[in-house]
Amino acid sequence: MIGTDPGSAAAAPAAPHPAAPALAAKAAWVRFQILEMIAAAGKGHVGGSLSCADILVALYAGGVLRHDCSRPQWPGRDRFIFSKGHAVEALYAVLAQAGFLSPDSLRSYGTDGSSLGGHPDRLVPGVEVSTGSLGHGLGIGAGLAVAARRQRQAHLTFVLLGDGECYEGSVWEAAQFAAHHRLSNLVAIVDRNRQITVDDTEDCNAFEPFAAKWRAFGWEVREVDGHSFPALLEALADVRTRKGGPPLAVIAQTRKGRGVSFMETTVGWHHRVPKGELLAQARRELALS
Amino acid sequence: MPSATTTPPPVTDIRDAFFGELHRLAQNDRRVMVLTDDQSAFALDRMRTELPAQYINIGIAEQNLINVAAGLALGGLRPFVCGISNFLSLRGCEQISVNLCAMNLPVTIVASGGGLTYASDGPTHHSVQDVAIMRSMPNLTVFNPPDATATAACAALCRECEGPAYVRIEKGVMPSLYAAPADFSSGVGRLRPGSEVLLISTGFLTHAAVHAATLLEASGIECGVLDLYRLKPVNAEAILEQLKGVGRVAVLEEQTPIGGVGSLVCELLAEQGAGIPLRRFHLPDGPCYRYGSREWLHRQFGLDAATVAGDIARWIGPAKLRATA
């Protein structure tokens, strides 16, 4: 179940979904790759990568996004903008799982001359828009949605934002624009992990009531458990049939560092790299997940 | 290289020349989209009325303006983004850099109000750094045409760019400097012969450069005028060709001394080891809190034709006297 009514509070559990176990297994693989990439490179954004891993797997493996790894530029593909570009390790792992990259190529991350940088660029197969500076993706997505509508193209545009990214004013410039133009072919998903680098969002500059802000800007809002595949898939089930209405914002409640207990319970794992016993513990926990 | 006009100038508002050409392009190519941050102009209003599906007023939100244009370009359209130079180049600077330029998207930024156009409106509205900023942007083509003929030509040249373009356009009626039709592919125009001193300028101040050259001619000094209507990619070969046999170089621009056309010419001369004496006329490196007309401000900062001609005459005079003694 998802909260869709104005003012609705926390999401209720969604009904079981037959694909959920398989997706959970895929997400476990993705999480392990994230950890290994960052451990090998000695750098990366582990917390935000782990928080958005389930969202990415739901999109790419859950039948939400239309994509074809054999034709990355297939005109009929959905456009996906990974606006929280710093969590690139999650994107690379999912692109490898979806066939855009070879799993072996993930080993090159962080090495000299690698084609996989610390933020995604369009030269990487499957990456639609180069990102890294926060707050740009939603406006670009709005432009893509306008272009698709003007040319009567059926594909959708999805943008994944971090919640910390929503401190950027340009996000709200784009939100207002997209609602005014009733871009029902645009879907924003916010990874609401509630943490930035050194703070809980509610302690340093509170977002709440976050969903109400999106609603006030004219968006349809669905709040979901961002680690529940049934909830994510239910929230995104009708994206192709909701025509003529407002754009859709899915606020995915997540935990930064999801899957690693000591990351989930402490602030500070935005871009810290686990080493020694902490790395061993993270490996054990992610291997078991 | 386009040739200087010898016929009486037609009466055409420069901004109308650009937007008129843009209107024609949009009529013939439905992929052309015009986006603005609430700019008002006769020809833009016409676009809104006659081609409403190709016009979007984004509102006063330059970051989103550039980002939406990037998305439209990624979606196969050809956006022209119209607004005031200072707000586009500074408020939208990062979006221009990382979205338009780094991704090399075919978006044209149409920047009105360059330099001290909004003279008495103060430093928030003075666009005196944009040439330096835009010159530093990768993949960006930068135009700064001085008259209606060149400005209209730039609209078509921008449409043909495979990557992003930035074009500074003036407003108002000014004399034509170029004969039409002309080939504007070279990026430079020789508007007056003369090699005793070559006065290099761009955009609005090219008119002052031509005027200064006529004043110098009356004083017995041969002053050539070179107009750089394209600042990036700079046609170094053509400029260096024009510098052959030149005794001195002066550069006149409506920007701060850092990174503009004066810097561009210095870079070229230094890299070539040309060793030609050079004098720069520019605005100070600081905000302008003096209020008056653009022409008055030019006199305040020594950028008007009479002051430039006088300074060049004093600069050359002693050497000329020595040579003839």
pLDDT tens-digit map of B223-259:
999 999 999 999 999 999 999 999 999 999 999 999 9
Contact A142 B68 (CB under 8 A): yes
Q: In angstroms, what separates the C-alpha of A276 from chain B's closest C-alpha?
A: 37
Which of B61, B69, B94 is closest, CB to CB, to A143? B69
For chain B, percent of residues with pLDDT exceeding 90:
86
pLDDT confidence tier of residue B85, bands split at 50, 70 and 90:
very high
Sheet containing B223-228, strands listed edge to edge, beginning at the edge strand earlier in sequence: B188-192, B223-228, B197-201, B248-252, B278-281
Taking only the tens place, the pLDDT of each residue in B36-84 is 999 988 778 889 999 999 999 999 999 999 999 999 999 999 999 999 9
Which of B68, B102, B103 is closest, CB to CB, to A143? B68
H or E stretch including B73?
helix B62-74
Tell me which residue of A121, A128, A134 sits closest to A79, measured CA to CA: A128
Instruction: Report how far residue A122's alpha carbon sits from residue A105's, in angstroms, rounded to the nearest whole number.
Output: 16
Q: Are B124 and B97 in contact (CB under 8 A)?
A: no
Average pLDDT of the segment spanning B279-306: 97
Tell me which residue of B159, B136, B81, B144 sits closest to B114, measured CA to CA: B144
Please list the ranges in chain A whose pLDDT falls under 70.
1-12, 289
Residue B318's pLDDT is: 72
Cα within 13 Å of Cα(A61), Cβ side: 28
What residues of chain B lie within 8 A of the CB of A141, using their CB? 71
For chain A, list the domains and their CATH numbers. 20-112+119-288 (3.40.50.970)
Average pLDDT of the segment spanning B188-208: 97
Residue B246's pLDDT is: 96
Residue B171's pLDDT is: 86
A 10 A CB-CB count for A48 gives: 30
3-class SS of residue B28 = helix
Tell me which residue of A141, A138, A117, A89 sits closest to A286, measured CA to CA: A89
pLDDT at B147 over 50: yes
Which of B61, B67, B79 is closest, CB to CB, to A136? B67
What residues of chain B lie within 8 A of the CB of A128, using their CB? 74
Instruction: Report how far residue A164's alpha carbon sits from residue B96's, in angstroms, rounded to the nearest whole number.
Output: 23
For chain B, list the domains and their CATH numbers. 14-169 (3.40.50.970), 188-318 (3.40.50.920)
Q: Hey, which residues does A211 pair with through a beta bridge?
A: none
Residue B324's pLDDT is: 62
pLDDT at B191 over 50: yes
Instruction: Report how far residue A36's alpha carbon sits from residue A79's, in angstroms, rounded to the nearest whole number.
Output: 28
Residue A11's pLDDT is: 54
Residues of A with CB under 8 A from a CB of B: 79, 122, 128-130, 132-133, 135-136, 138-148, 150-151, 157, 169-170, 173-174, 176-177
Average pLDDT of the segment spanning B5-27: 82
Residue A3's pLDDT is: 46
In chain A, whose CA is at the least distance from the CA of B58?
Answer: A177
